[in-house]
Amino acid sequence: MKFRDGMWLTAEGMRVEYAEDVYNITQTEKGLSLLCPTRKIFQRGDTLNLSTLTIDIEAASDGIISVETTHWAGEAVKGPNFDLFPDGQPKIEPQITQGVKGTTLNAGALSATIHPDQHTFDIRFHSTDGSKALTSLLNRSVGLAYSPGPSNPMQTGDMRDFKHYIFTQTTLGIGETVHGLGERFGAFNKVGQSISLWNADGGTSSDQAYKNVSFWLSSRGYGIFIDTPGKVELEIGSERCSRVQTSVQAQRLKWYIIYGPTPKDVLRRYSILTGKPGKVPSWSFGLWLSTSFTTNYDEATVNSFLEGMKERDTQVDVFHYDCFWMKAFTWTDFVFDSKRFPDPKAQISRLKESGLVKKVCVWINPYIAQHGAAFKTAAEKGYLLKRKNGDVWQWDLWQAGMGLVDFTNPDAVKWYVDCLNGLFDKGVDCIKTDFGERIPTLDVEWFDKSVDAHKMHNYYAFLYNKVVYEALQARYGTSEAVLFARTACAGTQRFPLVWGGDCESTPEAMAESVRGGLGLGLCGYAFWSNDIGGFEGYPAPWIYKRWVAFGLLCSHSRLHGSSSYRVPWTIDEDNKSEEGCSRTLAKWTALKTRLMPYLYAQGAKAVENGWPLSLRAMCLEFPEDRTAWYLDRQFMIGDSLLAAPIFDESGEVEFYLPKGKWTSFFTDKIRDGPGWFKEKHGFGSLPLYVRENTILVLGKSGVKGAVYDYAQDVEVCLYQVTEGASAELVDNQGNTLGTLKIDPSGELEGKGLLKGSWTTSDNGREVDELYSKTIEWL
């Protein structure tokens, strides 16, 4: 939303009024309240016939300050509202001081200072110790706008024909970059972009996003969380090049500025504000295999998939039934298609008893088709969203005559959970919560009359996933619940995990997916996945294999397509060579399995701190390296592993290593950073580098499945370690066993934690020399 036409003119059809003065500062219980007229006040008569904006600046927590701008305070405050500080708000005693630089509010590590001159609109946000200037609200940076612009103030007595906006413009420093705002598939650095935070089913090749998160991270050591689930419009250096403009159609706009100083610190504080990611079970890190979307399948097909994977040396930990486990025209009615699955409970039991798979997942959504068994009950009992005239809200987009579950109705929630429990009774262990983006805002009435329909559009994702996640927790235990969700908003990181949505089977789409995962990770999402091989289309064998390498280095890994299967032998006519799809998948699945002691320990750190496990943007680990803020084709896996997917059929790849010594995981060769490097790889490898001073614990070679004893028969690999280098050791339930550590003499402490025939490798790991023939340094 742009309010100006360049520097000098107001946009056509707009009226814009800016806070020009800080006429009065009042101390409140939590901070300061600023009365800001929209023209400078020099005499008493100047106070008449003008608008004012109230800016409330409050200490929310250590390093967190809220800023709320209000025009007309009488606007009805409707929900839903984000569930902030879900684990309890830390106590903070705001401190207010006055000095030559103005009035300062201190919230622990973060402060805000208001300029002492009433006629100079200037609010500065900075570290309390004065070491870091963060951002500011300067001249003409806070305002209100009307569209169309009224020609006479009397016209605003009837607001039905006017739209009213509140906006703020925080300054952008020279060279400052902006990241996050959810799972966005365009350029990683958002400066220069116009972004609307509005959930939409737009695939991965547009400016629409399934997961719009109202939080962005700055390279200057702070983040901003916009506290509204309604539609937010951002102009990030795209209306004024030196400012980030945030606007909402409302009478109020509230946001929180969160100080670091490091980006990891920002995310840690953000996770306190909006919630920490939930813990996921170890089995969920294994390979997931799907039936795909519109393909035909039954018990024989499923068995053939899993037996074929076993024959080709690949263990599947989770099998996923997509839409057509239910009959056509009946989604979602929670009823297995009796023709294809006459006894689903027995079939699922047989699958698990065979050892072909550990867990089973099924696809659902909150859309209830008119022709399904569930619709009549849901409609009659008032469990579906209604139109204002009392009709059930329905349309024919997606499912014929579908309605939408009204999760603001407690009875509807109970009914939906009862439906889920019916699936759990049949042996279903986890749920793919698809859709939830197309939530209507016009001509609708929610059961909870206190909610605003426009705010419900994005927030519905939170309610939907919360209901399903908590149902899984109630059945299987707090730490055993896991989703595969597509839509999200701020706070939904509490209900892991999410996947990237509908991507094409192209290298460009794989790069889009990487950017999406990086951006979402910078919004506090610890766990993320994507459709290996691409969802739409038919991947060429080389794309499939390169995507397999990328996908098995994500926190979670799923093979899934649309109208074609993703089992490897269907991709390349069952090429059985070492470079074929089947052997490539087997190698990368085996590698991820060996990495589980590292991945699961790093996952616990990610949950505790609100950090992404994978994909972790390079700037989180190397914030002082300016190049790291622009890297969107590579990522960290936890603290110590760097991966660079390959997007070219030739196998050539260019990547960047920050300062330090980096060891190739596949060859033990060492590179010195910082610098750009080029390599050429076969399908069994990619640039995977281990950071210096790392203790990397690997599971026993040949182990099958993600769940095993992470302290038994392991290989402890040391990479240029010095005193103090350490690695947490956890079991497959996430319990901390202890710490491996390098002592002052250079010896490894904590060996008593290890069991069986464990080994230590002092300069890297025991590598397969065959890789030296397939990796070329260019």
Could you give the residue numbers annotated as active site? Answer: 434, 437, 502
Question: CA 413 → CA 378, 383, 433, distances in Å?
Answer: 11, 8, 15
The DSSP element (H or E) to which 137 belongs, if any, is: strand 133-137
> How many Å apart are CA 770 and CA 764, to the nearest integer?
16
In this structure, what are the phi and psi dihedrals at residue 697, rounded to the nearest 5 degrees? Answer: -95, 125
- Examine residue 615 and say whether the peptide bond preceding it is cis (omega within 30 degrees of 0): yes
Contacts of 750 (CB under 8 A, 6+ apart): 729, 738, 739, 740, 741
Characterize the bridge pairing of strands 715-719 and 759-761: parallel
Q: How many residues are recorded in the chain? A: 778
In this structure, what are the phi and psi dihedrals at residue 54, rounded to the nearest 5 degrees? Answer: -100, 130
Question: One-letter amino acid identity for 479?
Answer: S
Q: 571 with 539: CB under 8 angstroms?
A: yes
Q: 372 with 331: CB under 8 angstroms?
A: yes
Q: 332 with 324: CB under 8 angstroms?
A: no
Q: 295 with 265: CB under 8 angstroms?
A: no
Establish how many alpha carbons lie within 13 A of residue 366's alpha carbon, considering only the half-sphere containing its beta carbon.
Answer: 29
State the DSSP string of 77-104. --B-----STT-PPP---EEEEETTEEE
Helical axes 344-354 vs 299-311, angle rounded to 10° = 10
Angle at CA 530, nearest 5°, toward 526 and 533?
150
Could you tell me the two tokens for 593? 């399995």
> How many Å apart are CA 120 and CA 386, to the nearest integer?
50
Q: 36 with 70: CB under 8 angstroms?
A: no
